[in-house]
Chains A and B, each alone.
Chain A
Amino acid sequence: MADAKKLNTILAVLAAVILVVSFSALAYTLVPKGEADVLVVNGTEYAWADIFNDFELYNFTVDDMDYAGISIEELLLDAGVENPETHSYKFTARDTYKQDVAWADIQEGYIIESGPAENDFHRAIFPGTTHSFWVYDLASIEVI
C-alpha cells in the first residue's frame, strides 16, 4: 500500500512537472520574437510593407495550390550575399522555429505574403521539399 502511495505521488509530481515545463515552452513559442514589420536578410532589413512591391512577383503552383511570391534567390542577391551557391541558409520564424535550406532549394524558393492556408503568412515556400521546411511568419534569413 505504501508502494502504491509512493508511486501515485511520483506520477503526480512527474505529470505536474511535464505540464509546467511544456506549458512554459508553449508560452515561449507563442510570444513572437523579432520585429513584426521587417524581414532581416543577411543583416539587411526589408520592410514587409514594401518587399512585395520592390521585387518581382511570380505566380507558381505547388501541390495543386496557386501562390504568388517573390524569388528568394533575387532577395539574397539584393542583400549582397557573395557566392550564394557556396552557402546554406538558416530560415528563422518569429516563434524561433528554424530550418536550414540548401542553395539548390533556395533557387526554386519563394516568399509569399499570404496564401490559402491559415499559416500561409510571410511564408518561405520551397516547392521541391516537404512542408516541414516551409517556414511561416518569417523573421530572418541568415547565411551559414
Chain B
Amino acid sequence: METRKMDKYRMLAGIILFGSLWGMLECIIGEISPSWFPGAAFLGGGIGLGLMMLTRRLYGAMWMQLGMAIVAGVVRFWSPVIGTCVVCSALAIMAEGLIFELIFNRPTFNIHGTGALNMRKPGTLAALGIISGFTIFTVGFMVTQIMTPLLTGGIFTFSNFIGNMPSYVGTGFFAALFGAVSLPLAVLVKQLHIDIETVKNTWYYTAAGGISACCWVLVFAFPYA
C-alpha cells in the first residue's frame, strides 16, 4: 500500500485532532455507560476502529493511526478519573492502534481505495470489521489485564489470565458486532468526497486546534461536572 504524500504538519494536526476526540470519548463514554451496555467493546470496536479507519480513508497514511492511539492514550492518562488504572487503559488504547496498523498495513487489506482486491463490497467490509473489531478489542483487553497487576503492584498469574479468557473473548463478541457496523460506515464516508488536502490552511488548523483543545478541557472538567 502506498502512503500518500501529505503535508506533515497537516497530518500531525490530524493525529492530534482525531486522537484527542478518541481519548475524550474513551474517558466520557467509559464513565457514563450503564453496566448492561458493553461500553468498552463499543469504544474499541466501534469508536476506536471507526476513527482509525476514517482517518486511514481521509488521509491515506500508514502509521498515522498508531499516532492517534498514542494521543488518545495520553488523553486517557491525563484524565483525572479515579478508581481505574489509567496507565493500563492508556497502554490498551495504544495496543489497539498497533494492532490496527498490523492488520491494515498489509497490502491485502488496502482500504485506501486505489488498489484493493475487492474491499468496497459491504459484505467484505462487514466481515473485516468483525475480524478487526474483535482482534483490536480483545488484544487491548488482554494488555490491560497483564499490565494492571504489573503496574499497580498486584498479582498476575498466567492461570488466572487463561482462566479469564472466556471473559475477554466473550466481550469481544460485542466489539465484533460494533466493528461490523463502524468499519463499513467509516469506509463509506469517503463517498462524501471529503478531501482533507483541499481544506484551506486557516480553516483546517483553526478547527483542528479548537476541537482538540475542547476535547482536552472536557476530559479534565468532566469528573468535576
| A in complex with B | yes
Say whether, besides A96-B163, A118-B36, A15 and B131 are in contact (CB < 8 Å): yes
Interface of B, helix, strand, loop or mixed by DSSP? helix
Instruction: State whether the Cβ of A119 lies closer than 8 Å to any Cβ in chain B.
Output: yes
**A-B interface pairs (CB < 8 A), number:** 114
- A71–B58 Cα distance when bound, in Å, is 55
The 0/1 profile, CB within 8 Å of A marked 1, for residues 162-186 of chain B is 0111110111110010001000000
Is there an interface contact between A26 and B171, defined as CB atoms closer than 8 Å? yes
Instruction: State whether the Cβ of A114 lies closer than 8 Å to any Cβ in chain B.
Output: no
Instruction: State whether the Cβ of B189 lies closer than 8 Å to any Cβ in chain A.
Output: no
Residues of chain B lying within 8 A (CB to CB) of residue A42: none
- A90–B160 Cα distance when bound, in Å, is 9
Residues of chain B lying within 8 A (CB to CB) of residue A102: 154-155
Is there an interface contact between B117 and A4, defined as CB atoms closer than 8 Å? yes
Instruction: State whether the Cβ of A117 lies closer than 8 Å to any Cβ in chain B.
Output: yes
Is there an interface contact between A19 and B176, defined as CB atoms closer than 8 Å? yes
The 0/1 profile, CB within 8 Å of A marked 1, for residues 108-122 of chain B is 100000000110010
Q: How far is the CB of A5 from chain B (nearest CB, A)?
A: 8
Q: How far is the CB of B34 from chain A (nearest CB, A)?
A: 7
Residues of chain B lying within 8 A (CB to CB) of residue A26: 166, 169-171, 173
Nearest 6 CB-CB pairings of A with B: A26-B170, A22-B173, A4-B118, A25-B170, A118-B35, A15-B127
Q: List 30 A-B contacts (CB under 8 A).
A: A5-B118, A8-B124, A11-B124, A15-B126, A15-B128, A15-B180, A18-B130, A19-B176, A22-B134, A22-B170, A23-B173, A25-B165, A25-B173, A26-B169, A27-B170, A29-B170, A90-B160, A96-B163, A97-B167, A98-B164, A100-B154, A100-B160, A101-B155, A102-B154, A118-B35, A119-B35, A129-B152, A130-B83, A130-B84, A131-B83
